[in-house]
Every structure is written in structure tokens, then in C-alpha cells.
Amino acid sequence: MAKITFGEAIRQAYEEEMARDRDVFLIGEDVGRWGSLYRSSTGLLEKFGPDQIKDTPISEAAIAGCGVGAAAMGMRPIVEIMYIDFITIAMDQIVNHAAKWRQLSNGKVKLPMVFKTQGGAGRRNSSQHSQCLENWFVYVPGLITVMPSSPYDVKGLLKSAVRDDNPVVFIEHKALYFEKGEVPEEEYLIPLGQAEVKRTGDDVTIIATSWMVSFALEAAERLQEEGISCEVIDPRTLWPLDRKTIIRSVKKTGLCMVVTEASAEGGWSGEASSVVHEHCFADLRRPVKRHCGMRTGIPYGPILERRCIPSVESIAGAAGALLREARGKG
């Protein structure tokens, strides 16, 4: 396996899928000559030309609309929205058109497309470039919602998303772009809707998403030194949700904590919590705990920015407290 960055894994997925299928194309702001915001499409314009790498004006509604029309006609667009904050301008195309056409046409019109975007804090982009809006898309029927947490996952999931015949909202975390991880040199796919147990354990199940997965894993390492064994699950696809993996883990540990950078109110963390309560109620030693970001705009300053989202320390503290409560020592 080669050790590459998250961004390079994305570029490899682009290159492999465009070479495999000429109907796959990337469209968005600065994806061509500039190589995209985090350089994940560098060199692809020279290799595939303007038919498959399309720079656009600054209009998210137009970019998404072009993608929807192309997908309806049988192509497989990857629509890049530079920041998830800007996806608000394309919500009509995503929610009222892409998500609905297959059902409204009784399956005659397929929408094989990926809405690919970046979200989250950690890079001092302030409140209009740092939001976590994945909850919106989980709620919309007809959309698949994906959030990878590693170079291996982002490549395998993106390739699967490109090949799926349904619209996929593919949300990457900007703080992960320069993180490195092992990625096979041979081709592989990761099925959408399949969670992964990132670390096995017996005392507490931690369900974490996106950037928070790495935080949860580090917190689990620290807790292991205290004799606390944590199982860390990355759903990878928020919808459809792999309930079986989550339920199996919680039935084993009897305790569950859900960690998201997005705030708890009205969020996916509530969905995950409900799944556990509905299917594992008799196995739970304590109610599911949610450990999420603050309900606030993200400040520009690095200290305040970090205070708004979970940290390794806060995750370890919350998981440890949950176990102590279960043991009657809280």
C-alpha cells in the first residue's frame, strides 16, 4: 500500500473513474486550470481535456443545474461545490430536482451524480465557510449522504458514489485534506451504506463521523491506558445507515456515545441515538450520550474555534464519565 494524502486519494479516484468511463466528468469553480481549492484535481485538465474537466462561473445554482441535466441525459457528473456553505444556493436543484426525478418518473429517469463538497471547522475559515450541514441531506428522500474520514475511505467511497445511479451528497472535511493514510495501489470499492468498526472494544461504543473519527480513535487510545476499552464505529454513509453494525456493537458494550462536529439539535446524532434506543433498549446500561459541536457560528480565532467542537480531551472525558455512571461511580 502507498501512503498518500486525503486529497491525493480523491485525485486518484477522479482519474480512475474518468479513464474508465468517458461519461464521468468534473464540473465546478476552479477545478480545471487551478486544480480545485485543495489541489485534488491537479493535472486532470491536461490529461482529460475540457470535456471531462469543466471550470465554471461562480454560480452554484448553475453548476448544480448543469449537473442535474447532464445526469438525466445519461452522463455521470461530479458537481463540486467549493464549500458546503455555498450549497445553500443550489438547494432547489439538489432537493427539488435531483432527489425527486427518479421517483417522479417511476424509475425511468436515473440521476447518477455526485454533489461533492467540503465542510467543517479547523482551518480558521470563520462562520460562513465552516458549517456542518449534513443533517439537511440525510432528511431528504432520494439522496445518499456520505462522509469519509480517511484517505482509504474517501477513495473507495467516491468511486462507488460515481458508479451509483442515485444522487450522492459527498461531504469531505477540509481539515482532513493533508492527512496521510495507506491506500491500495490496486482498484477497490467501498459499498455505500456500510459502516466500519475502526477499533474494537468492550466497554463503550463511540459512533463518530468525519473528522471526529480520528479524535475518537485518539481518545480511545488514552482511555485504554486507564483500563477503558472503547469500540469506535465510523458509519461512513450517514444515509442509508448501517444499523446492523451499530446495533451489534451496542448490544456487546451496553453503552453508546455519538460524536459529531455538527450540533446535536435536529441532527443526525439524534437519528443514531434513536436507532440505538429502539433496538438496544434492554441492553443499555445508561441512555445514549450525544457529544456534539456547539449550536453557534464558528469563530475565526483558533482558540474559540476549537472550543466550539469536540476535542480528543472532551471525548475521552465524556466517554469515561459515561462508563463511571454505568458502574455507579459517577
Residues labelled as active-site residues: 129
CA dist., res. 68 & res. 81, Å (int): 14
C-alpha cell at 81: 461545490
**DSSP state for residue 96 in the 8-state scheme:** I
**Residues 248, 253, 258, 259: is their CA dihedral positive or negative?**
negative
Peptide bond connecting 191 to the previous residue in cis, omega within 30 degrees of 0: no
Cell 494524502, residue?
Answer: 5
Mode of pairing for the β-strands spanning 256-263 and 289-293: parallel
Based on the number of CB atoms within 10 Å of its own CB, is 132 exposed (0-12), middle (13-18) or buried (19 or more)? buried
**Residues 224, 228, 231, 232: is their CA dihedral positive or negative?**
negative
Mode of pairing for the β-strands spanning 168-173 and 237-239: unpaired
C-alpha cell at 213: 473519527
DSSP E strands, 1-44: 2-5, 24-28
DSSP E strands, the chain: 2-5, 24-28, 53-55, 76-81, 114-119, 144-146, 168-173, 180-183, 196-199, 204-208, 230-234, 237-239, 256-263, 289-293
CA dist., res. 68 & res. 62, Å (int): 10
CA dist., res. 295 & res. 180, Å (int): 30
Contact 148, 172 (CB under 8 A): yes
> How big is the chain by its Cα radius of gyration, in Å?
20
Which residues on neighbouring strands pair with residue 54, listed in sequence order? 27
